[in-house]
Amino acid sequence: MKRLFLLIAFLLYCIILTPPGTARAYDLPSVNLGFTSFLDGGPPAGPGLYFSQYLQLWTSDKFADNNGDGALPGFADEDLTAWIGLSQFLYQSNQALFLGGKWGINVMIPEVILDLDYGTNNAAFPRDNGNGIGDILVGPFLQWDPIMGKKGPIFMHRMELQMIFPTGKYDDNKELNPGSNFFSFNPYWAFTAFLTPKLTASGRIHYLWNGKNDDPGRGYQALGADDIQAGQAFHANFTMAYEIIPQRLRLGINGYYLKQITETKMDGKDVDNSKEQVFAVGPGMVYHFSQDDHLFFNTYFESNAENRPEGNRFNLRWVHHF
């Protein structure tokens, strides 16, 4: 029985979205896994007010253990479908604040739909907490102007101090929740390098620190836990794109990688073999309707997952500059 509850404890918070992002992992909060991609180093139309709407579908039929094998018995036949919408409001000023970087603010509100089914009825398996608002993200940032060359921009980048607040729907008797019930600090550096006027490479590199959850899930409660603290992690999005139609269409490859670097803690003590990881890659595109409207589509096929679900993601993002 103790082993069963340990298994449930590892199957915490499995949501799609990020940034934060994403899907809820077993212990880690939702972070940006594949939500952002091409030309990530700067806003497409310079200073001003932006609105972005994200829609991501994530499906998984495998909950991986710490060896990458299935964490549940074969008869569980788990089938997770998660939809996440992110509504983003971003303001980029034209006022330099520090080392030439212009200040801005980013606010994101996630909306989550969860549906987890099994091939059998077993109350001990993880359960979802339905639909609801996720954890709100707020991030002040500095955006540097593009470094220009003879044929156009060469490099642009940004730094943001993202904070994820525990505002989302949470139930300690359900393992899959829209909210994490703890604060997270998730700063990043994003860049775009113009390798040629048509070929670009972009990346976004995050560090993740998590606060304590003073109302841990039922698996940890069964072990007498008063609190848990998810481990620290690094995660990154990476892309490369080529301009097919001038000023209109770019096609490319996109991916992400997540690696937890410290163990989850239960009442201040490490939980062995609790580190998460996942890698994903797939094709993507961005279509520029105008300088003020842009549509991104990305696909991701996950592999090498440990201590988290493994599946496929499909991401649609519309960006509008007012």
Strand bridging mode 137-143 / 163-164:
antiparallel
CA distances (Å), origin 271, targets 6, 70, 133, 265, 320 = 10, 19, 29, 6, 44
Give the model's pLDDT for residue 11: 39
Instruction: Convert the pLDDT of each residue in 300-311 to its tens digit.
Output: 999 999 999 999
Give the model's pLDDT for residue 314: 98
Can you say whether the dihedral through the CA atoms of 71, 73, 74, 75 is positive or negative?
negative
Number of domains in the chain: 1
CA distance from start to end of the chain: 57
Copy the structure tokens of residue 264: 């989850």
Whichever domain contains 24, its CATH number is 2.40.128.130
Residue 128 has pLDDT above 90, yes or no: no
Strand-pairing partners, residue 133, are: 111
Strand-pairing partners, residue 252, are: 241, 284
Region 159-179: what's the mean pLDDT? Answer: 94
Give the model's pLDDT for residue 145: 96
SS3 category, 135? coil
Give the model's pLDDT for residue 289: 97
Domain of 105 in residue numbering reads as: 2-321
Nearest CA-CA partner of 78 in 112, 116, 131, 127:
116
Percent of the chain with pLDDT strictly greater than 90:
82
What mean pLDDT is reported for the chain? 91
Give the model's pLDDT for residue 5: 38
Query: How is residue 74 annotated by DSSP?
Result: G
Give the model's pLDDT for residue 24: 36
Instruction: Convert the pLDDT of each residue in 10-66 to its tens digit.
Output: 333 333 333 333 333 478 999 999 999 999 999 999 999 999 999 999 999 999 999
Residue 224 has pLDDT above 60, yes or no: yes
